[in-house]
Amino acid sequence: MSGIWGKNIKLSIFGESHGKAIGIVIDGLPSGIKLDHEYISKEMKRRAPGRSKTATPRKEGDNYEILSGYFNGRTTGTPLSAAIYNTNQRSRDYEATKSIMRPGHADYTGHVRYSGFNDYRGGGHFSGRLTAPLVFAGAIAKQILSNKNIVIGSHIKSIGDIEDRSFDGVNIEASLLKELTGKEFSVIDPEKGKEMKDYILKIKEEKDSVGGVIEAAVVNLPRGIGSPFFDSVESKLSHLLFSIPAVKGVEFGAGFDITKMKGSSSNDELYIRKEEISAYSNNNGGIVGGITNGMPIIFRVAIKPTPSIGKLQRTVDIEKGINTEIEIEGRHDPCIVPRAVPVIEAVCAVALIDLMMEKGGLI
């Protein structure tokens, strides 16, 4: 199982949704970094379940315990490890249906890949619960970037067919990104946010689920970050983004819509502003040739509907070798998108510090 990612910063995640704990080991962090625990806890709470009617009622505080790599308030430079203990599991919810493969989950593929020895409770290691350690790592990475005035923020671009306003590709204020990270339901237009929440609750009543799109942006990132071909900015970001359960698509800048343009309109024409080269547009999302060009990085991530739903679905029983049906019980998110917002920001931050170390270090 590939639980390790990274070149300059290495992440290793461990644990299962209904095991004793989940956690992460971060290798490669420079020594002497002061950690803001209040900020880390705030980021963890943004992802944690049980905070609103639009999320699962499973309550997990996502409190972390640092086990190594941290001494006298600062990182030591040795591997930093942290554990997040699971405190509110209801594993009995999965006993009666352990041989019945839940559609949309990794039950069947995980069973095949690991010869039936995988922990099936709550999705085991394939669960979205494993994104909590990623948020912990991302909170540290965001602190490092913040010290260089690099700001990451995101918002819920859409839920179903309901659309929030898009970021201005050329002029994005860091204050807007910071404001969005402070919102429980991260949208630019509050009215659209209310529509989205009402729609999610409607879907919940129908025992169904819905997905959406998250739009993220990074401002004040230095020019010249990225190492094409295989360590381009898009490559690094996409690798981590697609590692998040439920992510089914990623696009940068104008994304797929750029295919509808001519080169004369898709090209981001350049000019000099205050002795720095800038661009009139940002169809390439701040990245050209896999390298940052000084414009805001903008990307969007497609999140699929939560696969755990109460509606009757067709599936198979692998022990009996028969076709059957299932109505999934338990505590599940009718829409995972709001809780995925801090996860998207977290992996973006980790990818960026890995890329920045390639060019010359962080501190």
Say which CATH number the domain at 315 has.
3.60.150.10
Q: Show the CA angle centred on residue 260, arms to residues 160 and 170, nearest 5°.
A: 75
For tokens 């998207």, what's the residue?
A: 344
pLDDT at 91: 54
Determine whether the annotation assigns residue 308 to a binding site: yes
Determine whether the annotation assigns residue 289 to a binding site: yes
Lowest mean pLDDT among 28-37, 273-282, 352-361: 352-361
In whole angstroms, what is the distance from residue 338 CA to residue 46 CA?
9
Q: In what order do the strands lie in the sheet with 247-252?
A: 162-163, 151-159, 212-219, 297-303, 247-252
pLDDT at 348: 98
Residue 65 structural domain: 4-359
Structural domains of the chain, count: 1
Determine whether the annotation assigns residue 306 to a binding site: yes
Determine whether the annotation assigns residue 300 to a binding site: no
Q: For residue range 185-198, what is the model confidence (pLDDT) as tens digits?
A: 999 999 999 999 99
Determine whether the annotation assigns residue 338 to a binding site: no
Determine whether the annotation assigns residue 305 to a binding site: yes
Determine whether the annotation assigns residue 68 to a binding site: no
pTM for the full predicted model: 0.94
Determine whether the annotation assigns residue 127 to a binding site: yes
Determine whether the annotation assigns residue 129 to a binding site: no
In whole angstroms, what is the distance from residue 42 CA to residue 36 CA?
10
CA distances from 99 to 23, 102, 123, 175, 331 (A): 27, 9, 13, 50, 19
Q: Are 144 and 18 in contact (CB under 8 A)?
A: no
Q: For residue range 109-156, what is the model confidence (pLDDT) as tens digits?
A: 999 999 988 888 878 888 889 999 999 999 999 999 999 999 999 999
Other CB atoms within a 10 A radius of the CB of residue 54 amount to: 23
- Compute the mean pLDDT over every residue in the chain, rounded to the nearest whole number: 93
